[in-house]
Chain A
Amino acid sequence: MSGRGENPVAPAIRVTDLTVAYGDKTVLWDIDLEIPKGSMVAVVGPNGAGKTTLIKSIQGLLPRVAGVISIHGKPYEKQRKEVSYVPQRGSVDWDFPTSVVDTVKMGSYGDLGWIRRPGRKEHEKALGALEKVDMLEFAQRQISQLSGGQQQRVFLARALVQSASVYLLDEPFQGVDATTEKAIVTILKELVAGGKTVLAVHHDLNTVSEYYERIAILNVGLVASGRVEDVFNSENLMKAYGGKTSFFPERKAARRAV
């Protein structure tokens, strides 16, 4: 399955030499990362490791000191429409006067371009996305009345409306209930099964093996990246988290094997 701007051989995301600094503080140092097409990838790392910064600078939201980002083999700037973004839920004011369906419609603004307003078609698309995340009955609700899990579903629906081939999610499971977490994982896995690529900042090391095929372990620099069974081990986690982690993937795997 090949989308609008996809090059069948190039990786979905290629990050080369990415370095980002805030003032005198280096947040990301010389990151080289390749995300193969059709994979589901976790980005993990301690607080301040630059996970959000990575997601944002892939999309040119932050000035970078150095680095090249390409999506399906072409520079990001030419591939905006191939990338959907689910920001952290807490990054917006949910008291904003707007309805659920209008928020989801924002995902179609990019395709519409400047000045043109969303119409019937965009409305239908938004309703379709809401149905997928099981929020159709809330379409006309004020976004201020949503619970955390519902807010996250709305954000995911908005990204689905963008109908891109690469999904970047910043902590999609933060502060959501178990039902919502399962629902979101199911949708993401469906996307991946359909040839889309998913890159998500993830916090809960316990669920990494269950949800993702690949992982990028980050702490300012890239500690390791690859298939979960190859690089998700205590040695790499120690490198990223220092002595602060008590999580040992090997033990868990051993327990599961027994």
Chain B
Amino acid sequence: MLEFAVELFSDYTARTILLGAASLGVVSGVVGSYAVLRKQSLVGDVMSHAALPGIVLAFMIVGVKEQLPIFIGAALSAVLAVFVINLVTQNSRIKIDSAMGMALSVFFGLGLVLLTYVQRMPDANQAGLDKFLFGQAEALVEKDVLIIGLTGLFALLVVGLFWKEFKLLCFDPDFGGTMGFSMKSLDMLVTAVIVSAIVIGLQTVGVVLMSSMLIAPAVAARQWTGSMGSMVILAALIAAVSGVTGVALSAGFENIPTGPAVIVCVSVIAFFSVLFSPNGFFTLKFKDARSRREIKKDYVLKVLHDLALEHDDPGYAHSERLLALGSEKGFNVKKSLWALQTAGYVESVGEDNWRLTQSGIHEVKKLSPLEKGR
């Protein structure tokens, strides 16, 4: 494995490919954050699928697999799909989700039909057009990487320049509008930046899975941070690492297209983040369980105190059975008592009878939620 890695990084062609994958990662991480923050993750999905007919048509018109026309074709048909969605939602009762679903399948379906048609043509050039479906990073050459890099730089420059305006657009566009910023232009600019990220991801990741490359890193990054700046940077890092790992995987095992390999990597990171980050599923479950244990402990302490007061003796002992009366099913009073005993608040006086210690009596006075300042 190590040998393989050394070989990969020392080989010029391999280095070129990895550089391409890393740049693509940085750009899609940054740009994807905006798609996620604007709750437009699905728009990214539609746009990347909708690029397919543009790719094939561009090829049909130009007749050779030339990069620039294909990029332009892809961008045009992606933008057209967004335009159609807006047109449909603004002029009919069709809701945005249905419009997006329709646009995605219509454009992608058309793309597949055209692709099948082109592949039947007796022209050797079309070989490899289907690689745009799932991506093939091995095919990247220096010139491709240069274009990826330049387009990426453009996207990063735009994001850097309009950082504050994009923040307004994502958080409170109406408020931004009242301050004289044209939200419509900013919206178009963000769309342009997303489209450029999709276009440069076509060769490496492919139209089918490019949307995950936009969305998953941003979702993963959001789990770890509460600041937009660090979210964007972290998303870029996650996507770059996944890009490089995916490309390496796809090169190491034959017949794995790059797109799926990259997406598997980024998904692993996203899943891990969703489950184990400070706001993740397991972390929250763990915190919940801990605070529930605390509350139960406090409750048992309070009940023991209240019962004892009926005997005018705060240290009066009661049986565990009596304490458990009236508590919910699954409320293990014994467990709480043991925990209280460890803390030194109660002591066992044999035969499952329990009473408050001095420090327990002191503790119970602090329990009132009002005094605790909860």
Q: A159's closest neighbor in chain B, by CB?
A: B175
Stretch from A13-21, A105-113, A227-235 forming part of the interface with B: A105-113
Stretch from A42-50, A93-101, A193-201, A239-247 forming part of the interface with B: A93-101
CA distance A117 to B227 in the complex (A): 16
Cβ contacts A69-83/B at 8 Å (1 or 0 each): 000000000001001
Give residues of chain A (106-127) contacting chain B, Cβ–Cβ below 8 Å: 106, 109-110, 112, 114-115, 117-118
Q: B177's closest neighbor in chain A, by CB?
A: A61
Q: Give chain A's interface residue range (CB within 8 Å of chain B).
A: 20 to 34
- CB < 8 Å neighbour of B176 from A99, A109, A115: A109
Q: Give chain B's interface residue range (CB within 8 Å of chain A).
A: 20 to 34
**CB <8 Å contact, B228 and A98:** yes
Question: Using Cβ atoms and an 8 Å threshold, which residues of chain A touch B176?
Answer: 109
A236 close to B (CB within 8 Å): no
Count A-B contacts at CB 8 Å.
73
CA distance A87 to B176 in the complex (A): 11
A59 close to B (CB within 8 Å): yes
**CB <8 Å contact, A106 and B168:** yes
Give residues of chain A (125-172) contacting chain B, Cβ–Cβ below 8 Å: 142, 144, 158, 162
Question: Using Cβ atoms and an 8 Å threshold, which residues of chain B touch A144?
Answer: 226
Give residues of chain A (201-254) contacting chain B, Cβ–Cβ below 8 Å: none
B249 close to A (CB within 8 Å): no
A109-B179, A144-B226 known; A93-B171 Cβ under 8 A: yes
**CB of A34 to closest CB in B, whole Å:** 21
A97-B227, A144-B226 known; A80-B180 Cβ under 8 A: yes
**CB <8 Å contact, A91 and B172:** yes
Q: B179's closest neighbor in chain A, by CB?
A: A110
**CB <8 Å contact, A106 and B226:** no
**CB <8 Å contact, A106 and B227:** no
Question: Using Cβ atoms and an 8 Å threshold, which residues of chain B touch A114?
Answer: 162, 165, 181
Question: Using Cβ atoms and an 8 Å threshold, which residues of chain B touch A85?
Answer: 174-175, 178
Q: B180's closest neighbor in chain A, by CB?
A: A80
**CB <8 Å contact, B178 and A92:** no
**CB <8 Å contact, A91 and B174:** yes
A56 close to B (CB within 8 Å): yes
**CB <8 Å contact, B165 and A96:** no
CA distance A12 to B168 in the complex (A): 27
**CB <8 Å contact, B172 and A106:** yes
**CB <8 Å contact, A80 and B164:** no
Most buried by A among B39, B164, B181: B164
Cβ contacts B222-243/A at 8 Å (1 or 0 each): 1001111001000000000000
CA distance A144 to B162 in the complex (A): 24
**CB <8 Å contact, B179 and A92:** no
**CB <8 Å contact, A97 and B174:** no
A115-B162, A142-B226 known; A98-B177 Cβ under 8 A: no
7 contacts between A and B (CB under 8 A): A60-B177, A80-B179, A97-B226, A98-B226, A99-B227, A109-B168, A115-B162
CB-based closest 3 A-B pairs? A110-B179, A142-B226, A59-B178
Known: A80-B180, A92-B172, A97-B231. 14 other contacts (CB 8 A): A56-B174, A85-B175, A85-B178, A87-B174, A93-B39, A93-B171, A103-B171, A106-B171, A106-B175, A109-B164, A109-B179, A110-B178, A114-B181, A115-B164
Interface residues of A (CB under 8 A from B): 56, 59-61, 80, 83, 85, 87, 91-93, 96-99, 103, 106, 109-110, 112, 114-115, 117-118, 142, 144, 158, 162
